[in-house]
Structure formats: structure tokens, C-alpha cells
Amino acid sequence: MDASIISRVAQETATPESSVAATVALLEKGATGPFIAHYRKEATGSLNEAKVRSIQERMTHYKEVWEQRAAFTKFLSEQGILTDELRARIENCFNKVELDDLHHQFRPRRKTRATEAIEKGLQPLAEYFWNQEPDAWSVEEHIDVFVDPARGISTREQALQAAVDIIAEWIYEDFDCRKVLREFLWNQGFVVSSVVPAKVGQKTKYNMYYERKESVTTIPSHRVLAIRRGCKEGILVSSIEGDSAKAVEYLLAQIIKEKGSIFAPILEAAARESYNRILRPLIETEVRTLLKERADREAIRVFQENLANLLLSPPAGPVMVMGIDWGKNGECSAAVVNEEGAFLEKAKIRLIPAPNAAEQKVAKESATSAPEAVLPAQPSALDAQALEPPPAEQTSEAQSQRPAETSSPISEPPPETSNPEPAPAVPATIPEAPDGVAGEQSFAGEAPDEAKAETLPVHENAVMSEALPAEPITAVNAAQAVPEAAERESDLRDQIQEGRKILRDLLAKYHIRAISIGTGIWARELENVLRQILSEQAWNDIMIASVNDAGIAIYASSRIAREEFPDWSASDRCAVSLARRLQDPLAELVKIDPKLIGVGQYQHDVDQKELHRGLLMTVQFCVNKVGVNINTAGESLLRYVSGLNEKLARRIIAVRKSHGPFRSRASLASMAGLDKTTYEQSAAFLRIPDGENPLDRTAIHPESYPLVEQMASALNVGINDLIGNKDLVASLRLEDFAAETAGIPTLSDIREELLRPGRDPRKAFKAPRFRPDVKEMADLKPGMTLEGTVTNVTNFGAFVDIGVKQDGLVHLSQMSNRFIRDPREAVKVGDVVQVKVISIELETKRIGLSMKALLPPVQRRRKRQLRRRPRPNAAASQSSAATEETAAGTSASSPSTPAGKNPDTGSRLKAGRSQEGYRRPQKAESRRPLNTEEARQQNEPAPKLPEPTLQEKIAILKSKFRGIS
């Protein structure tokens, strides 16, 4: 790769050029990013995963630019117009916009006003004005030569306008001028947005952009994308505005040789015509493109970070889990999986009454929509005066794909029931949990007292909340309505009782340790019922966890889900996925296209090719960071292992099924038929917990096994005795084992693995504690303290699920009691946080939250106020010596100075204050308490000083005005 590109990548990623060059060389040899970051630290200078990924992304971009440059050079060479100057210009282009700009000059020309003028024979007149060389003829005489009605030029004005059009296009075709004007607009331009006339006075999610002007260089990416989306939706109009006067002045300076010449007025008209009609729209479009490219990069980076945090969410571990998905008409799907995630049993159960008619309609619409039509929910944010508006997808896009609201978000219908009509809802048949905050549960601990509290039984004579279908009220149908309603109510109660019995039987049969539910709009009602059932049975060691169900509807309709559960409904598949997500979020989320998980901002507005490439890279880094158990991992997980792909993943699974589990990493190459390079790239990320070689369960690469054997031999112990023994590992001197292929960075990683073999880098699992008395937005009140889970992080804040069916927004200004520039400095996706409600907007469904309000105030040190002393002027120079002596004796002189001593006046001036007239801070020893003698001396009046001589006065002036001799 070109050294200039290596240099640019190093500058853009803030990485030494040697490290970039080494990384690029390894990538060109077929090494993957995770392999380079983990096992080639000596070559790269110990670059971390983020740096390696950044280098990969920028090199991919510049590789495309390199290919575009090569194609352009080939085109010019084939046309026979490639010159050394053109080649140099092409080689100096490092972005696609500049390259397209240069290429534009050699594309087939469309018909313009300039080409029409040239066809009419006006080019010589334009050249006359362009060359600015006067001759014996006057300007009028030159113009008259080209006035010819037969050509369509009847007047001098028409001839001049034709010449202006030709010169205007010549100015436009000047590549250097366009580049300077583009840089000028980029550096000094403004993004201006306003509301369309039809929307004036209307409140929309783009309110803060109705009248906004912001610098191109500083406008955040999310605002750029928000304005673009507002324009696309017909609410906003935007433009890039710059100083047109300066731009025209620059053009005039470039083309006019002498301002007062007879040619200047024509050239000035041509410059203004070129800028206003051709250049400005073109340059504005190019700046928009560059701005969009920058915004896309930032939005993709945000999506990558959120996706990585979601994939690396804490796993609950190998426990028996039941997943429950809210299905159609309140009927839930329950599925049980064992410790390894294998399916055991499923059932259809009803735990609470059916939702009301409006909720059924929402569920039905969501159920019948295609996955592509599932869009994010409306944002949850504060007023635009306080924070950035999150139009559309700045909310957690996971909300849009939560199948807890529907049994089938795709074309596959749910199984038919005996009663096709929706059962009417019964109000208050299931009592709410008592007031208070539901306590956090663990697998070994007990549930909090609130969960143990007794609840009221189902009321036998509950009144119907939903009216029957509208019919004319007569004596006959009124008499029939009562028994039908009573029959439906009785049937509903029977279904609920039967559903609860099935649930209790499943919990007891499989010794369930955790119940996993989603975060849909009915998740809180479901959680309250489950807590009631567990409390009735005194099952205090069963945890109820609400997991992030982003993209679960996509999984239910995917090929992987259909192949694993071919005859199941979408709701049943979702129930299994919910259970597995609690056990291991990473292993389950990799089954979904990362673009459809939806934890980004404006993900549908960015370059989809770049987004897909970046997200796949992120998934690969996350999978390899955790490691994969080769004997239990599925195809979806194995395909992301460094060096592997879908074909190799299927081959490994086929070998595993036919020959049994792999017993060692060494057998992998021979059994699965991996070549040397593939084995080198993948072996260390494939773990065998119970393998023949104890090192196979660690992240130590097989190429480093001899080093570990040397370490064990040096301590006269076996490898089994060395692994996990802190004392033995701590006694190793890494310098004794350093070799050409393994330096201190690699040896340090080996030591960490020996101390904690097969460690999981993810945090310990913790479930949020939602308040049982807060179920919807109407229950919120300002000042409430709640606990929730971070579902999405944007550049202006974080969205938090607090259990009210709508995420709240913690703005950047409300995240910390210290100054932070990036919300990711305080939180990341999946974090459980404490928040305080500061504002509620029911109309726009916006909830304002604060984390800062719950943090202790930071005590800031008060800045010391410096007193400014007036500077003596020349008129007061005669008395300055006495003044300075007094000041030195009372405040600025050292306590050790003998009383009555008259030191050098210039020295006293320097010690007393700086040249700017400020008193310098005293030293620490000068601020100690004064003893009796010092206090007496300080209280005595200052001795009368003698009148300074002329030489002393000159010395004082020299010290004040340095440089005067």
C-alpha cells in the first residue's frame, strides 16, 4: 500500500506509522483483526482491538479510493490524454469527492449555455476577454464582429452574454478554484435549516431545527442526519451557506490581471455568473456529501459501540431457564431450555386477561407487518429546549422489533384457536404487586419481602371492561348479552387458572432457576403476575429477568429459526430465544443480522454498505473476545470466529456430529480439514473446556504452548499444577522466557490466562429492579427515583428502560456531576442505572431523566482572586521607590529580610509583582504564623526611605520597560 495512505491512516487514527504499516502488512497476508490484536502485539506495538478495527476501516476506505484512482488513470491512459500533471493530481486525491470532481472534467459534456455559445462561434470573443490583451481595436469593435442575426446574435448585449457564459464555464472547470472554494465553504460555512411554510406553528419532533444555523465544522453528526431526515419527510428545508462575497473576491483575484482594465467588468460579471449559477450549487452539494460521509462514520461508530456493549451483555450462565413471550390476545408461549440452551418443553398458557380492543389492534397491526416495515418507536426525550430531539431512530430501535406485543410479526400466522373472536378484558382481575421497589434476585438468594407479600384472589364477580359488539339494543339481545358475557368471563377465568397450573407444573418439573421475559408493552403486567405466582408457591429462589429483546421478531422469521423449529409459531420461537438470551446474549444475538438489532441512531439514513461492513467487524471482535466452545457452539457463532466462515462452520458441526466432540485443538486441523493459515487464525479462539490438553481451555495460542511448558519446567511442576496457581505464576520472571516471537506483551497475556484460565471478559449478571407501582407513563411523577436498563446510547444522551413501555432520555448534561463530552464515558448499553424523573410529556411521550441529580455534588476548589495593582506611570516615577519599598515591607518581602534593610529597588519590583501588574502568590513559608518579634517588626511603621538618586530612578524605569537602553 502507498506510503502516503499509511501516513494518512496513522494521522487519522492517532497511531504510529510503524504500527499501521505492520497491521496493514498482516491484513494483506490474510490475518484477521482479532488475531492481530490478540496474538501479534510485538509486531503492532500492542495495538488494542479498537485501534486495529479503526485501521481496518480506514484502509478499506482508502483501498476503494485507490481502486477508483487506478480506474481513472487507466481511463485517461486509454484515451491518450494522461499527462504527468494529471497523474500527479490523481495521486494527490485522497477522497472520493475530489476524485469525482477531477473526473468530471473528462466526462461527456451535456448541452449548456456555454456550448450553445461556442456552437454559434462566440469562443474567440470569450478568449479576447479572457486573455486581457488590448490591441488596436476597441471592445465595441470586437463585439460587433460577432453580432450576426443569422447566428441568433442580434445585439451587442447578446454577444456579451454569450461570452460571459463561456468564461463562466471556464472558471467552473478550474479544478484548483473549485477545491479552494470547497475548502472555504467547509471551513467557514454554516448548515441552515428552517421549517416549510405549511408546518409553521405546528409542533413536531423537529422543533429545534425550525430556525437553526450551525457551523459545518462543529455540527454533530446526529443533527446532520436529523436535518436530512426532516427534509426527506417534508418538514424542513436546509442549505449550506457561506460568504459569497469572499468567494467572488477570490475568483476575481484569480482571473483579473488589472482591476481598472476595460476587461474587468466583463470578467467580474462572468465570475459572479459562474459562482452563483454553477459553482455554488455544485460546491454545496459536495460539502453536503462530505458532511454526510462524516456523519455516517460517526453514526456507524455509535452503532458499533452500542452493538458491542449489547453483545457483551452479562450472561446469566448455564442455568435452567423458562422463556415467556406475550402472544396474540394475551395468550403466552412458554418454553423451557436446559443449562446448555437445548429445548425441553413448550406450552401455550394464559396468565392475565386479554388486552383491550385498542391494544389488540396495535398487536394485530404489528403482527401482520413485514420485518422491513418494523420501524422504531417514537423517541423518548425531553423538550427540545433542554436536549437534542431524537427524531425517529434515536430511540432504542429495539422497541420497534419486540414481539412481546405480537405472536407473529411476519407473514406466518399464529395457530388457530377455538374462539376466533377476541375475549373481552376483565379489569382488575389480577391484583397489582404492593407498593415499593421489587428487590433484585439471585439464583441462590431469596426474593424480597415485597415479592413474598400475599395478593388478593381473582374477584369472582368481575365486571366486563369491554362492551360487546355494537348492536341495536332490544329486549331480546339485552337479555342474551348477560349470559354470554358471564359465559365468556367464566371461560376466561378457567383459562387463566389452567395456564397458571401449567406454569407451576413446568417450574416444578424442571426445577427452573430463572424466568426470562421481554421488554414489550405488556412486560410489566406479566412480571407482576409471575411474581404473584412465585410468592404463592414460596419459590423465592427463582429469578424473573427482563432481557433486551431487540430484533427478536427478526430471529423468529429467520432461516435459522425455521430450520431449528420448522413447525412452530413465531411466538414459540421467541420464547426459546428469550430463554437463551438470558443464558448467553452473545450466542443468541449473532443469529440476527446486526443491522436489524437496532441500537444505533439514524441507522436507516447512513450508508448501508459501510454500516453492514462495520457491524460485521464488530460482531467478529466481540465473538473472538469471549471465545467459543467448539463442542457446543452453533453455526451462527462459529462463522464469526477468526479465520472461519459459514462453510467451515457447517463442516466443523458435521464432524462433531459424526465423530463426537473434539478432544483437542490439535485434532481440529486434521478432522475438519482446516489449512495451516485458517488453523493459525482460529485455534486460540476455539475452546475445549474438558480437552486432553489443559491449555485448550485457555486463550493461549497453540504456538505458545512450548513457552508454557518451559515455564512449568522452570518451576519443576506440571502444566496442570501451574494453571490457576497464583503463587507459582507470580514467581515467574517473564524476561527469562522472552524470545524473538514472543515478547513481554505476549508473555503478560499468557500469565493472565494462567491466573484465570478461560476467563469471561463480560461483567457479572444483574437484573434491574422496576418499581411495581410504576407501570405506565401516567404513573410517573417528577422527583421519582427509579432503576432501569440502558437500551441505547447516542451522542446527546442515553435512553433508559424504566418499565413504563416507553424509554426515558438522560441527556448528556444530566449524566454526570463532572464535565463529559461523550455519554459513553458514563454509561453503555445494558448498564443498570439509577435515575430520577425530571419531566414528563404525555402528549409527545417524552420522559426526561437525570442521573446527575442522584450523585453527590462535586466540591470545586475556589479560584484565588488576584488583586490587580495599578501600574505606575512616568509622572509618578519619582515616588515609586518609596511605594515599592513599603509594599515589599508589608506584603511581598520575605520574613527573613532584616528590618530596615534597603535591597535593590529593581529586585524589589520584580519580587513584588509581575510585569503585568499582578501580585505574585506568596510562598508557603511566607504564610506561616508570625512569631512575636516578627509581629512587632511588622506592626512598626516603615522607616523613612532616602530620596532615590537619578541613577536609581533610571534603574527603576529600565526594570519596568525592558529593552530600553
**pLDDT tens, position by position, 450-498:** 333 333 333 333 333 333 344 444 544 555 556 677 777 888 888 889 9
Residues 6+ apart with CB under 8 A from 304: 614, 615, 617, 618
| Residue 300: C-alpha distances to residues 96, 579, 605 (Å) | 19, 30, 10
User: What contacts 24+ positions apart, CB below 8 Å, involve 899-903?
Assistant: 899/937, 899/940, 900/943, 902/945
pLDDT bin (cut points 50, 70, 90) of residue 604 is confident
Q: How far apart are CA 521 and CA 775, in angstroms?
A: 9
For residue 930, what is the DSSP state? P
Q: Are 506 and 520 in contact (CB under 8 A)?
A: no
Angle, alpha carbons 824-828-830 (nearest 5°): 170
- What pLDDT, on the 0 to 100 scale, is given for residue 964? 44
Integer Cα distance of 548 and 520 in angstroms: 10
**Angstrom distance (rounded) from CA 772 to CA 795:** 31
Name residue, grid cell 444483574. Answer: 766
pLDDT (0 to 100) of residue 296: 93
Place of cell 455519554: 823
Strand locations in 595-651 (E): 628-629
- C-alpha distance across the termini of the chain, in Å: 61
pLDDT higher than threshold 60 for residue 57: yes
Q: Of the ranges 5-9, 354-358, 638-642, 954-958, which one carries the lowest mean pLDDT score?
A: 354-358
Rounded to two decimals, the pTM is 0.69
Q: Is residue 600's pLDDT more than 60?
A: yes
In 513-639, where do the E strands start and end? 514-517, 543-546, 628-629
For cell 519446567, the residue is 713
Band (803; pLDDT cuts 50, 70, 90): confident
The answer to whether the beta carbons of residues 52 and 23 sit under 8 Å apart is yes
Distance, in Å, from the CA atom of 67 to the CA atom of 865, rounded to the nearest integer, reads 61
**pLDDT score for 696:** 94
Question: Is residue 643 very low, low, confident or very high in pLDDT (cuts 50, 70, 90)?
Answer: very high
What single letter denotes the amino acid at residue 479?
Answer: A
Check residues 357 and 958 and name the one with the higher pLDDT: 958
Closest listed residue to residue 306, CA positions, set 550, 546, 517:
550
- pLDDT of the residue at 108: 72
The whole-number pLDDT of residue 866 equals 58
Lowest mean pLDDT among 63-72, 253-262, 358-367, 454-463: 454-463
- Mapping DSSP to helix (H, G, I), strand (E, B) and coil, where does residue 190 land? strand
Instruction: Give kind and range of the element (H or E) at residue 321.
Output: strand 321-326
- Of 15, 607, 699, 688, the residue nearest 294 (C-alpha): 607
CB within 8 A of 867, min separation 6: which ones?
Answer: 918, 919
Among 506-510, 612-616, 686-690, 829-833, the least confident range: 829-833
d(CA 311, CA 551): 13
Q: How confident is the model at residue 306 (pLDDT cuts 50, 70, 90)?
A: confident
Does pLDDT of 338 surpass 50? yes
pLDDT at position 366 over 70: no
Band of the pLDDT at 926, cuts 50, 70, 90?
A: very low
Separation of alpha carbons 166 and 28, rounded Å: 49
510 has pLDDT over 90: yes
| Helical (H) or strand (E) element with 346 | strand 343-350
- Predicted confidence band at 897 (pLDDT cuts at 50, 70, 90)? very low
* Predicted local distance difference test score (pLDDT) of residue 918: 39
Residue 961 has a pLDDT of 53
The predicted model gives 212-220 an average pLDDT of 94
pLDDT band at 679 (very low <50, low <70, confident <90, very high): very high
Task: Report the C-alpha gap between 420 and 474 in whole angstroms.
Answer: 26
Average pLDDT over the chain, rounded to whole? 78
